[in-house]
Structure 1
Amino acid sequence: MTIPNQHIDIPLLHEKGVQLYLKREDTIHPLISGNKYRKLKYNLLEAKAQGQYTLLTFGGAYSNHIAATAYAGHKHGFRTIGVIRGEELETQWQDNPTLRLAHEHGMQFHFVSRSDYRRKNESAFLETLKKQFGNVYLLPEGGTNDLAVKGCMEILTEADANFDYVCGSVGTGGTLAGLINASQPHQTVLGFPALKGDFLTEEIRTFAQNNRWRLVTDYHFGGYAKVDHQLIVFINRFKKETGIPLDPIYTGKMLFGIFDLIKKDFFPSGSQILAIHTGGLQGIPGMNAILKKKKLPLLDI
């Protein structure tokens, strides 16, 4: 599978002498796009090898991972169960485009309180779920595990060896770990977290096999799924100038950060930058519903 690197041609890049390309992982599939395809690939193979045909995973109301797992399960003959954060959603999920889509693809929901959701990695909590749902193949929140990192290592190819910097957005850290492990010795990998907190550094170190990386923590816009007027304007302008849609949770924040760093001369003149578009476009209608309530501008679809 060959994924195109699209050249971004914007005046600021000429002015600063920097080349920027966007790897269009969002074009893999409308629902299992970008890093979600990569993370699920080897996990689905392993589940089948174990004779497991029920996938149980975790996510929030607008989770790309929940939507992708539901579709992948539907396509490949797996039963899917989503443990969803927020028990208030049990009577409202039909109003949520992501959950509605997951349900259409056969996912069974199990809504839990936020306090219970925080226990999602505890063995006692997982045992309770296994007793309730039977023999299942567990996929962590965001899909990150060793097999997911293995899949994400395939994002970079030999043709990407000429880049000086590889940039990726960060949710649970699995995608960035894959990029780090697949990077060349001369490359620096920059991760742009979509949420607040320094805990991601330790998560990534669990999987990373070198130290040629760093997190850029200034562009989370207040935390996971938080956006503001400035970010929306940037995403809509970028789409108008390049024709490329960006999701507001991950790739939009990353590219906002990259352009801000370019303005601040973080990247030396002559630098070649590869940024990874990890998809997530299915979440835009849900985000627009939130933006409408907040009387903010909507994202162009």
Structure 2
Amino acid sequence: MRVTLHNRYLNVVDNTKGAELNSIKGPNQTEYLWQADSDYWGWHAPILFPIVGRLVNNQYRYQGHTYQMHQHGFARQSQFKVDSASDTQVTFELKSSTRTHKLYPFDFDLKVSYKLVAHTVQVQIKVNNVSDKELWFSTGSHPGFNLPLRHDGATFEDYHLTVAPKKVYPRIILKNSLNDVQHPIKADMRTPLNLTHKLFNNDAFVLSLHGHQTTLMLSTFKDNNGVAVTVYNCPYVGVWSPYPKRAPFACIEPWWGLADNYYHHGEFTKKTAINKLSSHQDFTARFDITVF
């Protein structure tokens, strides 16, 4: 079921399937969000839970049991319910169940909220441990943005990525979609990075943020339109477009977690950047999408 939000500046469509953003239209009906063309990538902006990225052999171990789980977890394919809604805000909810326990042996309450404030969609992902045992998880989001945003002659490679604060960041290299966090390289983001399709020939371009508030912006000198994602207390962000396909979109992905490490042996509690919640505690991840 689709839920429509609107204010003076934005028209936004969300979906109970996956609690996924389906559309962000700004002034002049410009569509900012990728429209899930399956020839390239059949998603808009999936919510990632309870893992980010891939597991080695698509499986993990916990307390002596082995579980199967595909890339980015099951939330993006789950049916959420609408917990609350108004013209400018909606909250979706997914609770653990017999179905989720087959993949993930934890009791949780996952809420995903979208709120419109002027030109910004404020996104919040809240994980609540509803059990008397500890809970281990990763979460994040994977929004894709049309490039070009307007049909006025600009191309994907006319866009650039700007990061603020402007500085040199550790860049995490991926090997076969698994992280090699032990061997980061330097990414000089003191000046805008020109986008090319080849930039993604080894999967996502991943920056380590150390939890600092950071804004990543996609824009072009050919017009005044663009999109910015601001993350709060977020350890990693990935920028991605499928390669070798020359796809007309790029994703900016806030991650509270990482794919398995290239050297990982499957124990869930030892997973890189895994988060732990004590009994009846909660965790909130937050980021903003601002369009112009």
TM bucket, shorter chain: under 0.3
Scaled by the length of structure 2, the TM-score of the pair is 0.24
**Which one has the bigger strand percentage?**
2
Question: TM-score, length-normalised on structure 1?
Answer: 0.23
More helix per residue: 1
